[in-house]
Structure 1
Amino acid sequence: SDPWNVVPDSTSTIALAPLADKLVLYNNYLDAKPRAYQSSSHIAWAGFQEFARQWVLLSRRSTYDPGSGAHRLWMSIGGSAGHGGLYGVDIDEGVYDPSTPRTWAVQVQDAADIRQACDEQKTAKKEARTKDRFQANVEKVIRTLAEFPEGETESVLKCRTKLHSDTWKPALQAAIDSGQAIPCKIRKGNGQTYDGVQPAGPVAAQGQSG
């Protein structure tokens, strides 16, 4: 039978549900780019762009966690009349429980707000990683100082820590500022005295008393 005969009248709308190609999936999941969203060019198979008068394209902003009931989606809308928009849609359908009904909570956000939040989160993670690396360098300096209770020159200490110059100096200064390292004078076997650094506290006292 003619499939168009199933449409009861001219006020009905035919909705098609095609799949997307793998590009959006790759960008969102494999390449970790939550900004990626569908456009009409991402519709799988040919012909849809030519006759579709309007569209609602859905793609995930983040990988779905099975059983969570939480979906983070992009919703790209548009049509031949020139209208269009991009939104973030958060859907929470709850977790299955036979004793309670399911939920369906939907929140729609502007794409600009989501992108700003994404940038802020990315910046915060980067700052946290930088802080963690810096703290690890400071701890390495302190551990190295503990090997020289009576102190040692900066060049020897730097070589022992294997830190680059641009990371060694700030880490050493942080150890000094926090009171865990003390500038001192080092007398070498050639009789010359050099500027050095020694650990503060019981470790230094033990070295001096020994």
Structure 2
Amino acid sequence: LVTTGAKVLFIDPIYLAMPAVDNGNIFATGELLGQISELCQELEVTLVLIHHLKRSAAGKDGPPELSDLQWSGYAEWCRQWVLIRRREPYEDGQPHRLELYAGGSEGHGAHIAVDIDQGVFDPAKPRKWDVLVQSAAEAKAAINKRATEEKSTKAEAQRRSDVLAIVEAAKAFLPEGETKSVIRDKAGISATRMNLALAIALKEQRLYPVSIQKSNWRKPVEGFSTKQSEQSVQHSEQSGIPSGGPPVGTPLSPLGEECPSGRSTDSEGEQSE
């Protein structure tokens, strides 16, 4: 230190520079740290120790604390600190998303988010060091936005998959078509997902409403098919309803017309109030 005239001394990591002492003994650790601290004070050198947090600190709720430092004596010794941990698990090719908690015995403190992008190894070009510093609130908002976008993307993928599933299921019942519940069961999706997928399939004209008459039912009921029936086309032209058909759940009379207001057709073909 005297020769170099250094004003700051980093020891990284501290455990490699320490002799083999009982790391659970606060008194032994304190004696060693006290000696090097006294030397640095005499030379007016700022001492910075690079230490490790306990593994349990990585997944704890809330910010890391000095009590999360490995081994005894370090939390009691330091007078100012920067505690660093990942705020999100690392993904290959993505930046290191870190959070920093700074504080000191004088009462100062800060909580910031830091993204460090080092790039990936490429013999043809050097690595990079791009740093983005944000407030904790900004980082949290970005995380929430990304989670919302991922959720939306996943939901859209699920909807497209469900539409494909019910269209493929409906093909098994050509040319007559089948009821919504039968198509839903064959597609293997829930009633809620079926309703949404059916609405999309009708809008995109991948399914069409048809009137189904079965031998054990007295009256026709609403069904759906990948083929548009002549009856459905005529009804659409007369009523002005787009060829995609009436809204999902609109019951059909034996002639393919909407049932009178206040009446619906159940799965057995009976009309109920």
The alignment's TM-score, normalised by the length of structure 2, stands at 0.61
Mapped pair 1:133 → 2:158: yes
Asked whether the 8 Å contact 1:187–1:194 carries over to 2, the reply is: yes
**May I ask how many residue pairs the two structures share in their alignment?**
195
Q: Does 1:15 align with 2:42?
A: no
Who is 1:170 aligned against? 196
Map of 1:195 onto structure 2: 222
Report if aligned partners of 1:88, 1:109 keep a CA contact under 8 Å in 2.
yes
- 1:113 alignment counterpart: 138
Q: Amino acid of the residue matched to residue 96 of structure 2?
A: H
Task: Give the 3 Å change call, closer, same or farther, for CA 124–54 of structure 1 in structure 2.
Answer: same
CA contact (8 A) 1:24 1:36 kept: no
State yes or no: 1:145 paired with 2:170: yes
- Secondary structure, aligned partner of 1:11: coil
Aligned-partner SS, 1:15: strand
**8 Å contact kept, 2:37–2:47:** no
Cα pair 2:208 2:226 within 8 Å, conserved: yes
Q: Which residue of structure 1 aligns with residue 247 of structure 2?
A: none
Change (3 A) 1:26 1:147: same
**TM-aligned CA distance change 1:65 to 1:199, over 3 Å:** closer
**Distance in 1 of aligned mates of 2:122 and 2:154:** 39
Amino acid of the structure 2 residue aligned with 1:174: I
1:124 alignment partner in structure 2: 149
Q: Which residue of 1 aligns with 2:86?
A: 60
Deviations 1:125-154 (A, max 9, x none): 112111211221111110011112221222
* Percent of paired sites with the same residue: 30
Structure with larger Rg: 2
- Structure 2: which 5+ runs fail to align? 1-31, 231-273
Higher relative contact order (CA 8 A, sep 6+): 1
Distance 1:196-1:113 versus aligned 2 partners, 3 A rule = same
TM-score (norm 1): 0.77
Instruction: Measure, in 2, the Cα distance between the counterparts of 1:187 and 1:97.
Output: 67
- Alignment of 1:184 with 2:217, yes or no, is no
**Structure 1 alignment gaps of length 5 or more:** 28-34, 206-210
Distance in 1 (alpha carbons) for counterparts of 2:104 and 2:208: 70
